[in-house]
Amino acid sequence: MNPPARADRLSSAQGLRYGALGLPLAFVALPLYVILPNHYAREFGMPLATLGALLLAVRLLDAVVDPLLGRLVDRLYARSLRAVLAIAALASLVLAAGFAGLFFPPSRAPSDLLIWAALLLVLSYTAFSLVAIAHQSWGAMLGGSEAYRSQVVAWREGMGLVGVVLASLLPTLLGLGVTSAVFTLALAAGWLAWRHAPRPDIRPPAQPGPDRPLPTASLWQPLANPAFLRLLAVFLLNGIASAIPATLVLFFVQDQLQAPTHLEPAFLAAYFLSAALSLPLWLRAVPRFGLARVWLAGMLLAVAAFAGATLLGPGDAALFLLVCAASGIALGTDLALPGALLAGLIDRSGQRGHSEGGYFGWWNFAVKLNLALAAGLALPLLALAGYTPGARDAQALQALTLAYCVLPCVLKLLAASALQWLVIRPARQHQPLNPSLRSTP
């Protein structure tokens, strides 16, 4: 029997049971994307050109396969929740084994190491994506009001922030062996908690209509939904605006601010801690202003933070902490609200309970595309402008400031404009005339 309709409140126990898996899923990203390349270059002597080509190929494959995994997740949900949890358990085992195997390969011979890394990266990325899409889809299927959906996503992303902080500390403090063990334990605990999370309210497919596309098994079904394309366009613009400064932050800290190395963890801590602490405040604003308008406010706060960073130079490390805190607070909206907007869109389209995997497959494809575009745009543009790591001449540092501060502001403003015209305005035009029936976008 399906659970009754949900109110506006997700209890802490329910939120923790659902969100716990977000911790290991976020935990694994930092070692695989940041620590692994450095580890293979320094410990095993893998040439940077070879390493770069390998990572690029695997990450492109990872992005392309996500929509396919989304359709697989939909088919699993169509069978039963037990099938979803069983496949997620198997994928979690593969992910844990792949994570440990990547950092502790059986052979250091160059050819063996390359084949080993390629195989385990493909397996690990695929397993990670399958678990993540299944977990995101489960949360979207819970339905509920805007406030409820935002709380569901906030618990998942809030636990993810804890995972990121742990992943940034453990390899340095306790080593990669302990890090692998902690990740495995966190993944097992997250899956066990997920088993006891609130159950999705899976609905039969709605009758097709103007606002309800005909449910099919097509890979391209989500892209036939105009509302999804509009939201995805905003998500892409905003995502690349956030990914560019994430790619360049250490260059900015080391060369423009010339800050001591020991302060770098403080900047990251201020950023992520501010994001975590801001989540409850943003969630309190959602019932009054709506998901989209609160997200818009977060975008504008990020613009103000990066605009302020253009004024910083050597010796301004303390002021940069304020920039990190402000941009971290803005990050809170990026974490909690877009996913909740997508869940509401799926519900309004009459596709809740049978198409979430397809939508989140394309959604995750966009996330990974943003990361690739950020590096693909920012780094070559900086090189063309004459910047190299360690530069101190005024022209190079000006190019760095433009790329780190100004370009994200421009993209954030474009994303904010797109949000207003593509999401908020159409939602307002389709609101019912009876004020008591209105729901803010």
Among 124, 120, 140, CA closest to 361: 140
Rg (alpha carbons) of the chain, rounded to whole number: 22
Angle between helix 81-103 and helix 48-79 axes, rounded to 10 deg:
160
Euclidean distance between the first and the last CA atom of the chain, given in angstroms as a whole number: 31
**Spatial contact of 359 and 229, defined as CB atoms under 8 Å apart:** no
Predicted pLDDT at 212: 47
Q: What digits encode the pLDDT tens for the residues 309-328?
A: 999 999 899 999 999 999 99
Predicted pLDDT at 54: 81
Predicted pLDDT at 203: 58
The first and second tokens of residue 426, run together, are: 């159409």
Among 158, 155, 129, 127, CA closest to 142: 155
**Spatial contact of 70 and 361, defined as CB atoms under 8 Å apart:** yes
Predicted pLDDT at 435: 37
Predicted pLDDT at 211: 46
Phi, psi at 209, each rounded to 5°: -160, -175
Q: How far apart are CA 375 and CA 366, in angstroms?
A: 14
Angle between helix 146-195 and helix 317-348 axes, rounded to 10 deg:
90
Q: How far apart are CA 432 and CA 437, in angstroms?
A: 6
**Spatial contact of 27 and 180, defined as CB atoms under 8 Å apart:** no
Q: How far apart are CA 90 and CA 84, in angstroms?
A: 10
Q: How far apart are CA 318 and CA 267, in angstroms?
A: 9
**Spatial contact of 98 and 123, defined as CB atoms under 8 Å apart:** yes
Domains for the chain: give ranges and CATH numbers: 15-197 (1.20.1250), 218-428 (1.20.1250.20)
| Furthest C-alpha separation in the chain | 71
Q: How far apart are CA 110 and CA 408, in angstroms?
A: 39
Q: What digits encode the pLDDT tens for the residues 266-275?
A: 888 888 889 8
Predicted pLDDT at 4: 41
| Burial state string for 260-293 with b = 16 or more CB within 10 A and e = fewer than 16 | eeeeeebbbbbbbebbbebbeebbebbbebbbbb
Predicted pLDDT at 205: 52
Per DSSP, the residues of 92-129 read HHHHHHHHHHHHS-S---HHHHHHHHHHHHHHHHHHHH
Predicted pLDDT at 351: 77
Q: How far apart are CA 76 and CA 137, in angstroms?
A: 11
Q: Where are the alpha helices (DSSP H) in 252-290?
A: 264-289
pTM above 0.95, yes or no: no
Q: From the CB of residue 404, how many other CB atoms can be counted at a distance below 10 Å?
A: 23
Position 197, amino acid: A
Q: Which residues of the chain have pLDDT under 50?
A: 1-5, 208-217, 432-441
Predicted pLDDT at 438: 38
CA distances from 141 to 136, 179, 418 (A): 9, 33, 27
